[in-house]
Amino acid sequence: MSNERVYKMKFSSVYPLLVQKAERKGRSKTEVDEVICWLTGYDEQGILSQLAADVDYEQFFGDAPDFNPNAEKITGVICGHRVENITDPLMKKVRQLDKLVDELAKGKKMEKILRT
């Protein structure tokens, strides 16, 4: 899938998939929201606003109030790519979110996921 195609994916389409992935492994929507808030600086209302506005990934990350500087600590492989080696800034943010939800679904403790 091309980067441009990923950027134009609606966050409102991807979000339920992220929640489903976590819930299938016994985690909650609240925990998914917590990692999204940690990464992007949105609060719960901000996430709801972005979902209601039907924004794409590009706008979702572009509008992020306070992207977490500790996001650089997110490492590992997601979708066959090492997160820390991705050079495109937007794609890196997309993959960082994927990696956090993946770690959540794999049962990691929230403290480790949030790099605290």
- Whether 116 is covered by a domain: the verdict is no
Q: Is residue 115 part of a domain?
A: no
Mean pLDDT of 21-44: 97
Domain hosting residue 88, numbered range: 3-107
114 lies in a domain? no
Residue 4 exposed, middle or buried by CB count within 10 Å (0-12, 13-18, 19+): exposed
Number of domains in the chain: 1
CATH code of the domain in which 24 resides: 1.10.8.290
pLDDT tens digits, one per residue of 81-107: 899 999 999 999 999 999 999 999 999
CB atoms inside a 10 Å sphere around CB 34: 17
The pLDDT of residue 1: 57
- Identify the pLDDT of residue 79: 84
pLDDT of 116 reads 77
